[in-house]
Amino acid sequence: MIDRHERLLDYLAQADGWVTAAELADKLGVTSRSVRSYVTAVKSSAHPLEVIASSTSGYRLNRDLYAAFLSGSRGLEAERPRDRHYHLVRRLGDAPEGLDIYALAESLFVSESTIEADLRKIKGIVEESGLAVTRRGSIVGLSGSEPNLRRLLSRMFRDEEAQGFLELESIQREFESANLRSFKTDLIGMLDSHGYFVNEYGINHVLLHVAIAIDRTTKDHRAADGSGSTLTDVAPDIPAELSDLVLRHFDVTLGATDLDYLTLLLTTRVITSGLETQDGRPNPILDDDLATVRRIVARVSEEYLVDLDDEDFITRLSLHVRNLVARAQDKSYSRNPMTRSIKTAYPMIYELAVFIASEIQRQESITIHDDEISYIALHVGSYLERQAKLEERVTCAIVCPNYYDLHLILRERLEAVLGSDLQIEIVITRTDVDWADLATDLVLTTISSRSFGDNVVLIQPFLTEGDIDAIRKAISRVRRQRRRVQLKDELLLFFDESLFLRNFHTHDEEAMIRALGARMVEAGIIQDSYIEGAIERERMSSTAFTDNIAVPHAMAMTAQRTAICIVVNDTAMQWGDNRVNVIALIAFSASGRATFQAIFDQFVSVFSDRDDVQRLIRRSTDFPAFIEELVQLVVE
């Protein structure tokens, strides 16, 4: 129940306006009546703050009041069951001799039966962390190593936080450490002095470990020598400087094991040149990683026809892979608050990242989570974005009647501000312009005409900010029109009436993949092995790239032709953490991959807007209607 309350609040937080009870019910997989009860429960827990507004239009989150509620509620210990589990583990960790269960229940303001239920619930995560819950009559305790306990506390604290960034303020509140912010500033300065560039998405997770280490040390719970992770020689100067920082800010002396582990965490969450050691010699630690990434890049080119063969990109990704493997071996994964948005906005880039991650995972015998995959996607996306920027310039003609060198000034200004987006083909300095003869994508003119077309932008001789905004909008419009015209015919190549299903349901994701795959096998498009490959891919990372569509597929391009078997359902089904109305099993073939990759992101983006999806579902009464509506949505 608590999880659904949080999912309701998360969904409202992402919405721009009012959300109907029916929409919330669909997303949560419950009835509208249940939604109303959840809203009532949330309002009751937040009283007197009116965190959710209700009207005939539905529900809307009052963001300011919700932020105030979160700020106030986080300071209350053991308010929710999940919070209580964390505090229960922390209390048990502080008491090596154990605690009396009755006194524990009284201190947390719950019954003994509630504590017993909590102990049963935390048993799994405790044992998974290499610890154990012990009982001697009414005395309950924890047994296991100090490093394992600290990792468990860190994991539970991160899980307790809402999805997104781990906030420094929440760590300070929990561990009563007001100096943590200034410590962070000095820590970043120290890392900068060694040539490291700090990943701000991960630094707060390291600070959480620092706070836990200080808290446990001050309570005389020290990690035994040699019990931490083995530290390589990549940062030999950091432990001593880190020790000085901790002593200066917190008046605490950490042991060698703590310092080595914290240094390991730091050096696996930063980006550095890494190609040379501090004395200027080649860094041998990268040799294997560079070889691995070069091999993977070659496979990406072979499988996806995407050229990532760039030394700067390979070097940066190799450094990231080295750190990723270290984190995975330590089971200390980096969180990425942008994971969901990356999957939704850039599914093809994310797919390339999944392929790269699967190769690393197979070679290193590690597990790579969605958050880590999204960091790989950032590397891939930033490189491809730089390459694409060079190829997407829009051609234009400038019409600026001759008056001294006014047209030259205008051209220079345009090239300075928009040179990466515009390619100026011609400058016309006459007033008698034959507009119909201008064949460029855009016409930028300082003179008005009654015969303006959609591609004509009226600007001032001395370019204003308003002019620049208008030109940028026109450039975006041209690029959008280019893509849509090209995509319209290509999109229709991959659908077939025999592979279109309406209101077709199964009990889970794998059953759906098998059912759709069987149709494609019958059509001679794929073999059974492709179905198994699609299921393996799904287990690695959910293919529900948006809240509305799942696109299961295998990573091997073994289909006879690229095709899509699609299901459009009025009622959503659970798919990973999402509920989707549309499922599209995609069969990739080597011969059709280049064409389909060009439209994959656009195809998925159609399903990112709930209103568009509802319109598609409503109007897709049969295959011809579906195709007509899909093309309309892509072209709009």
Sequential DSSP letters for 449-490: -TT--TTEEE--SS--HHHHHHHHHHHHHHHHHHHHHHHHHH
pLDDT value of position 173: 84
Q: What confidence tens digit (pLDDT) does each residue in 394-407 have?
A: 999 999 998 888 88
165: confidence class by pLDDT, cuts 50, 70, 90: low
Q: How confident is the model at residue 298 (pLDDT cuts 50, 70, 90)?
A: very high
Residue 501 burial by Cβ neighbours in a 10 Å radius (0-12, 13-18, 19+): middle
Helix (H, G, I), strand (E, B) or coil at 50: coil
Domains of the chain as residue ranges with CATH: 2-72 (1.10.10.10), 81-144 (1.10.10.10), 168-271 (1.10.1790), 284-385 (1.10.1790), 394-476 (3.40.50.2300), 495-635 (3.40.930.10)
Task: State the pLDDT at residue 430.
Answer: 87
Q: What is the strand order of the sheet 442-445 is part of? A: 422-428, 394-399, 442-445, 456-458
> Is a pLDDT exceeding 60 seen at residue 281?
no
Mean pLDDT of 304-314: 85
pLDDT of residue 177: 82
pLDDT at position 76, please? 39
| pLDDT of 82 strictly over 80 | no
Mean pLDDT (whole number) for 89-116: 89
- The region of weakest confidence among 121-130, 274-283, 562-571, 609-618 is 274-283
Encoded tokens for 539: 């287990």
Contact predicate 167/344, CB 8 Å: no
Cα gap 457→496, rounded to integer Å: 42
Q: Distance (Å, rounded) from C-alpha 349 to C-alpha 343?
A: 8
pLDDT in tens, 173-219: 888 887 899 999 999 888 888 777 777 777 888 899 999 999 999 99
Report pLDDT for 457. Answer: 92
pLDDT-based confidence at 337, cuts 50/70/90?
A: confident
Q: Which residues contact 518 (CB under 8 A, 6 or more apart)?
A: 531
